[in-house]
Structure 1
Amino acid sequence: MSTSAKEYSVLIYSHQPEVIEKIQNAIGPRPSETATIEYLSATDYDDVLAAVDKYSLDLVIFDGEAQPMGGLGAVRQLRDEAETIPKSLVIVARSADQWLGAWSGADAVITHPLDPIQTGKRVVELLEQ
């Protein structure tokens, strides 16, 4: 029996292209039998807003260490500014910063270093909710 995978659109926000690449590599193009991912990226908050307005995104992944606007502040501001927003995941540097994810309104928070199995699993859970 063949299972067809649903394609999801995921935006990754970070000012560092190498961080965007690490996040994509941790998740992969097909993190489960039921999900494939098309990635977009944004290097500043204005790009995030434009992408949310232009595309039907399923998830936005925010780098908590992004500059000049960090991912936590970007999630919170996006929740205040956009009429409809996709699910959100913030990646923070330290476990102690997870409470900031709740403050930001993110749907989920994970910490560096990214474990590919756990990261992919969490992304799929968010996408399939």
Structure 2
Amino acid sequence: MTAVEHEEVAAAETESTVSVLLYSDDPATRAQVLTGVGRRASINSPRILWQEVATPAAVVDYVENGSYDLLILDGESAKFGGMGLCRSLKTEIYQCPPVLLLIARAQDAWLASWSEADAVVSMPLDPLELQETVADMLASS
């Protein structure tokens, strides 16, 4: 390893990070979120360590056994939507992390409030709105 590579590794180890769990049964939706937000939600945000999951059971397992700063759930997942999953997590997990819910239409925000989501972003995803929402949520957590 060269000296420059050693410096990059050392910088990455000391850099502050946050953990974000991303749930969607649709790989295209996950890719959209990852591309839209990127490694950081903003220039002032810490680096994001992403955990992608495609099943509700995996979400519950990761949240119960891990430590996440933010959960991003796809409210439109076909098998088990993120709205019901969000509601379950918020009522069953002590100190559940904040949840950003991806919804099909802005008019579905009332359903997101039932699910106890902390914030919503409607589809089609606007990368700027998504980045700003994630940055705000990470800053306030």
Report the TM-score when normalising by structure 1.
0.92
Which string of whole-angstrom CA distances, capped at 9 and with x for unpartnered residues, describes residues 24-70 of structure 1?
Answer: 11111122122221110111111011111222100000101112110
Let me know the Cα RMSD of the aligned residues: 1.4
**Matches of 2:18 and 2:102, distance apart in 1:** 19
- SS of the counterpart of 2:94? coil
Structure 2: tracts of 5 or more residues without a match:
1-13
Verify the 8 A CA contact 1:6 1:34 in the aligned structure 2. Answer: no
Instruction: Compute the displacement of 1:10 (Å).
Output: 0.5
**Who is 2:9 aligned against?**
none
Which of structure 1's runs of 4+ aligned residues deviate more than 6 A? none
**Who is 2:27 aligned against?**
17
Percent identity of equivalent pairs? 35
User: Which has the larger share of helix?
Assistant: 2
Verify the 8 A CA contact 2:84 2:115 in the aligned structure 1. Answer: yes
Paired letter, 1:33 = I
**Matches of 1:64 and 1:102, distance apart in 2:** 12
Verify the 8 A CA contact 2:72 2:100 in the aligned structure 1. Answer: yes
- Count the aligned residue pairs: 126
Report the TM-score when normalising by structure 2.
0.84
User: Which has the larger share of strand?
Assistant: 1
**Matches of 1:64 and 1:48, distance apart in 2:** 13
Instruction: Compute the displacement of 1:5 (Å).
Output: 6.1
- SS of the counterpart of 1:128? helix
**Who is 2:42 aligned against?**
32
- SS of the counterpart of 1:68? coil
**Matches of 1:7 and 1:115, distance apart in 2:** 24
Instruction: Compute the displacement of 1:23 (Å).
Output: 0.9
